């Protein structure tokens, strides 16, 4: 016999019950337990149900909710629980038949309606639990984006960050408590935002303007956006390497011998569903990879300080592997023995010894072997000439 879901994830607006459908009100009336943050609980009247405050940090509430399994329970969330909301985190903790969601009107929809912006061309970000640097790959003059922020103080932090990145002419459209009796919307400069105070919940529409540097959307980002000690896969080689790695939605990368982290960082920039682990034996370089990832909005990069293949034990198995450093017979033997069939492998070699190693493995396993030779124009006395870089041999294979 099919059991009805015991858990309802209910999207609630700032207007409380006024914004709920009759069906949603009935769900609240029938609930034995209503769980949510204090602000959400304050928006609904007493129904006789037991009220449970969702704790901070958010993850601490999941064990509490699990103990309520089987009792009619409503969890209150903001707007649409599955658009930068709590819905997805809760849903993956329970079986599909245990829960149902009733979404409310999202903050993004309300903000777009106030601003007159088409949502299909407006970027949306949930930065209430993420760093502002998530914006960095997207910042360019003319960008329009709507952001959810964690509190009122974050508006000033946003204004400071935009100033520091060169987009000081940006206009902020600050909207507080959208859809409720406390709603307030104001447009202002970054300087004005530093002088004002704002109340939670708050979202901001950005009309980005200024002469700040916009990052290219294609693979092969400029070398100088990365902090480096000189050891970096240069831009043209990086572009060819990303092409060989061929990232696909939802895939996980191992970047072995991470160096500056440029390969794994650009991998992550290709799509928000991609994940990556960078493995680097030198501690100072591992720290540098972490700084590069954070500053370029790829804070989800996992950095492992260790030497492959030993450091690979226990890591989530990859879909794709790039070997940019530490190439050896021992490493290739380990990868062949431990990785799943279908894993894609790309390795770059510069020295004669590592080139010979790739040639030998190409003979054993096949794949594509590519020799990349590049030269750049430079001064040659009073004239110009070609200055050749070391050739790179690249092996690509599917195990």
Indicate which CATH number applies to the domain containing 51. Answer: 3.40.1010.10
Does residue 217 fall inside a structural domain?
A: no
Residues 255 and 393 in one domain: yes
Residues 227 and 88 in one domain: no
Residues 169 and 35 in one domain: no
Alpha carbon distances (Å) from 350 to 30, 211, 317? 69, 38, 27
Alpha carbon distances (Å) from 262 to 152, 223, 227, 241? 34, 9, 10, 11
Residues 195 and 326 in one domain: no
Q: Note the pLDDT of residue 111.
A: 97
Give the pLDDT confidence of 5-29 residue by residue, as tens digits: 999 999 999 988 888 888 889 999 9
Q: Token pair of 263, please?
A: 């390969």
Does residue 282 fall inside a structural domain?
A: yes
Q: Note the pLDDT of residue 348.
A: 97
Q: What is the DSSP letter of 182?
A: T
Give the pLDDT confidence of 92-115 residue by residue, as tens digits: 999 989 999 999 999 999 999 999
Does residue 215 fall inside a structural domain?
A: no
Residues spanned by the domain of 160:
108-207
Residues 303 and 255 in one domain: yes
**Final residue belonging to a domain, choices 105, 123, 155:** 105
CATH of the domain at 272: 3.40.50.150
Give the pLDDT confidence of 329-380 residue by residue, as tens digits: 999 999 999 999 999 999 999 999 999 999 999 999 999 999 999 999 999 9
**Final residue belonging to a domain, choices 50, 83, 105:** 105
Residues 247 and 341 in one domain: yes
| DSSP-based three-state secondary structure for 216 | coil
The structural domain count of the chain equals: 3
CATH of the domain at 129: 3.30.950.10
Q: Residue 2: is its pLDDT beyond 80?
A: no
| Degrees, nearest 5: CA angle 49-55-59 | 115
Give the pLDDT confidence of 157-201 residue by residue, as tens digits: 999 999 999 999 999 999 999 999 999 999 999 999 999 999 999
Residues 145 and 201 in one domain: yes
Does residue 214 fall inside a structural domain?
A: no
Spatial distance between the Cα atoms of 277 and 289, rounded to a whole number of angstroms = 11
Spatial distance between the Cα atoms of 307 and 292, rounded to a whole number of angstroms = 20
Residues 252 and 277 in one domain: yes
Residues 101 and 180 in one domain: no
Q: Note the pLDDT of residue 187.
A: 98
Residues 160 and 16 in one domain: no
Does residue 275 fall inside a structural domain?
A: yes
Q: Note the pLDDT of residue 1.
A: 40
Residues 14 and 87 in one domain: yes
**Final residue belonging to a domain, choices 174, 207, 240:** 207
Residues 239 and 384 in one domain: yes
Does residue 32 fall inside a structural domain?
A: yes
> Pairing between strand 392-398 and 344-349?
antiparallel
Average pLDDT of the chain?
A: 95
Alpha carbon distances (Å) from 52 to 63, 74, 127, 133, 282? 13, 10, 26, 34, 48
């Amino acid at each position: 016999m099919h059991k009805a879901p015991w858990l309802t994830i209910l999207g609630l607006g700032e207007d409380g019950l006024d914004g709920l459908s009759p069906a949603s009100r009935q769900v609240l009336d029938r609930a034995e337990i209503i769980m949510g943050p204090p602000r959400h609980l304050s928006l609904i009247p007493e129904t006789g149900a037991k009220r449970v405050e969702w704790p901070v940090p958010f993850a601490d509430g999941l064990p509490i909710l699990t103990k309520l399994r089987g009792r009619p329970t409503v969890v209150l969330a903001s707007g649409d629980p599955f658009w930068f909301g709590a819905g997805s985190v809760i849903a993956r903790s329970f079986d599909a038949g245990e829960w149902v969601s009733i979404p409310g009107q999202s903050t993004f929809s309300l903000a777009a309606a106030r601003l007159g912006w088409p949502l299909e061309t407006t970027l949306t970000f949930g930065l209430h639990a993420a760093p502002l640097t998530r914006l960095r790959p997207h910042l360019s003059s003319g960008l329009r984006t709507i952001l959810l922020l964690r509190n009122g103080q974050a508006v000033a932090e946003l204004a400071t960050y935009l100033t520091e990145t060169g987009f000081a002419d940006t206009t902020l459209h600050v909207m507080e408590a959208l859809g409720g009796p406390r709603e307030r919307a104001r447009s202002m400069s970054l300087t004005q935002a530093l002088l004002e105070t704002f109340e939670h919940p708050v979202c901001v529409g950005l009309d980005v303007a200024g002469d700040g540097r916009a990052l290219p959307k294609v693979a092969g980002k400029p070398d100088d956006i990365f902090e480096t000690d000189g050891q970096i896969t240069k831009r043209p080689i990086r572009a060819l390497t990303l092409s060989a790695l061929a990232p696909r939605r939802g895939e996980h990368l191992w970047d072995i011998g991470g160096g500056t982290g440029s390969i794994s960082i650009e991998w992550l920039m290709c799509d928000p569903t991609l994940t990556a682990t960078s493995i680097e034996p030198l501690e100072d370089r591992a720290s540098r990879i972490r700084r590069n990832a954070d500053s370029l909005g790829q804070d989800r990069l996992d950095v492992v300080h260790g030497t492959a293949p030993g450091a690979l034990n226990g890591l989530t198995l990859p879909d794709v592997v790039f070997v940019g450093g530490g190439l050896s017979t021992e490493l290739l033997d380990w990868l062949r023995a431990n990785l799943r069939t279908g894993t894609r492998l790309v390795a770059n070699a510069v020295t004669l010894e590592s080139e010979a190693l790739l040639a030998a493995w190409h003979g054993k396993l096949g794949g594509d072997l590519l020799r990349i030779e590049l030269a750049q124009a430079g001064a040659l006395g009073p004239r110009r000439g070609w200055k050749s870089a070391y050739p790179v041999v690249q092996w690509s294979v599917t195990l």
